[in-house]
Amino acid sequence: MTTSTALRIGMAMWSHHHWQDSVYGGYAATTERLARYAQVFNSVEGNTSFYATPLQTVAADWAAAVPASFRFTFKLPQTITHQLQLRHCRDELRAFFDAMAPLMPLTGMWQIQLPAAFGPAALPQLQAFLPWLPQGLTLGVEVRHPAFFAKGQAETQLNRWLVSEGVNRIIMDSRPVFAADADNPVIREAQRKKPRVPVHAIATAQQPVVRFIGQLDLDNSERLFTPWLAKLSQWLDEGRTPYLFVHTPDNIAAPQLAARLWQSLSDYRLNHGLSPLRALTLPHTERPQLHLFN
């Protein structure tokens, strides 16, 4: 198994009971799912740490389940980002990183997801918070306050600071799910839960992150992904390492959508005289049976 291509791709999770065939290649016990997942995808959006910090023994099990080339991303706990809003949280930070110590070498990015109420007036809190983190981490920040999307002074100040600190701005593309007809409860629930923010495809550091929220209709989702083909390809050719995390409203078909988007990007690069991506396919899929890793 060799090192993956520069683009990292994954889901919002590695364990889903509907993925027994699409990802795991047949029945896999819960304890086996991460290892099976990591044979196909080379990253994962670790939302679990946002809700609860795992025990260090659990973190060690996760680290042991994946190859050295795999990269987790983990969100800082919501107690730090949402409840304490980055203030008076040094003890909580220390406890979190102590628990996550076995995963440090395998974590490609630590994500700071901020609530919609965290606006321009709170930016100094984020600036003061950064030095409290362990040195040498790759960081991503996701903001949701409207002022940070208004292309005004607040957004300019945020982006300039992120660039100066080498911090990635996480991009949420929820346009596809909001473009879907709300004609079933799965879509309605997704539209209720997902943030609806503008998409500003800017790379403030070397590992830009795109969270793409597709529809139940995979053909339409693939079509709506088309604008990202040129941007992701541009970032790759600039020497960046983009992360692409693929969601669908219930995530049942997210792996199939990820495989299709990866293939579309590879085809786009080939058609433009650029190096294609190494193939990604699932154990049971309509496309040729190749793996991300050789």
Phi/psi for 266 (5° steps) reads: -65, -45
Half-sphere exposure of 123 (CA within 13 A, CB side): 16
* Position 293 confidence tier, pLDDT thresholds 50, 70, 90: very low
Average pLDDT, the chain: 92
Kindly report, residue by residue over 4-23, the tens digit of the pLDDT: 358 999 999 999 999 999 99
b/e map 194-215, b = 16+ CB within 10 Å: beebeeebebbbebbbbbbbbb
Domain ranges across the chain: 8-271
Cα–Cα distance between 265 and 212 in angstroms, integer? 14
Distances (CA, A) of 159 to 155, 164, 167, 208, 233: 6, 9, 9, 13, 22
pLDDT for res 280? 84
The pTM of the full predicted model, rounded to 2 decimals, is: 0.92
pLDDT band at 284 (very low <50, low <70, confident <90, very high): low
Are residues 114 and 121 in contact, defined by beta-carbon separation less than 8 angstroms? Answer: no
pLDDT score for 187: 92
Please tell me the predicted confidence (pLDDT) of residue 41. 96
- Span 78-110, pLDDT tens digits: 999 999 999 999 999 999 999 999 999 999 999
Distance CA 101, CA 118 (A): 28
DSSP SS3 for 8: strand
pLDDT category, 283, cuts 50, 70, 90? confident
Confidence check: pLDDT of 50 > 80 = yes
- Burial of 45 (C-beta count, 10 Å sphere; 0-12/13-18/19+): buried
With tokens 């609530």, the residue in question is 115
The amino acid at residue 266 is: S
Q: What is the pLDDT of residue 46?
A: 87
SS3 228: helix
Question: Which architecture does CATH list for 8-271?
Answer: Alpha-Beta Barrel (3.20)
232-282: pLDDT as tens digits = 999 999 999 999 999 999 999 999 999 999 999 999 999 999 988 887 878
Q: Which residues pair with 71 in a beta bridge?
A: 43
**Which pLDDT tens digit goes with each residue over 116-137?**
999 999 999 999 999 999 999 9
Name the DSSP letter for residue 134.
P
Bridge partners for 107 per DSSP: 72
Amino acid at 109: M
Judge whether residue 289 has pLDDT over 50: no
Euclidean distance between CA atoms 283 and 277, whole angstroms: 18
| C-beta of residue 260 within 8 angstroms of C-beta of residue 222 | yes
187-238 residue pLDDT tens: 999 999 898 999 999 999 999 999 999 999 999 999 999 999 999 999 999 9
Q: What are phi and psi of 73, to 5 degrees?
A: -125, 145
Predicted pLDDT of residue 266? 94
DSSP string covering 63-110, please? HHTS-TT-EEEEEPPHIIIIISTTSS-HHHHHHHHHHTGGGGGGEEEE
pLDDT given for residue 1 in this prediction: 26
Please check the confidence at residue 286 and state whether its pLDDT lies above 70.
no
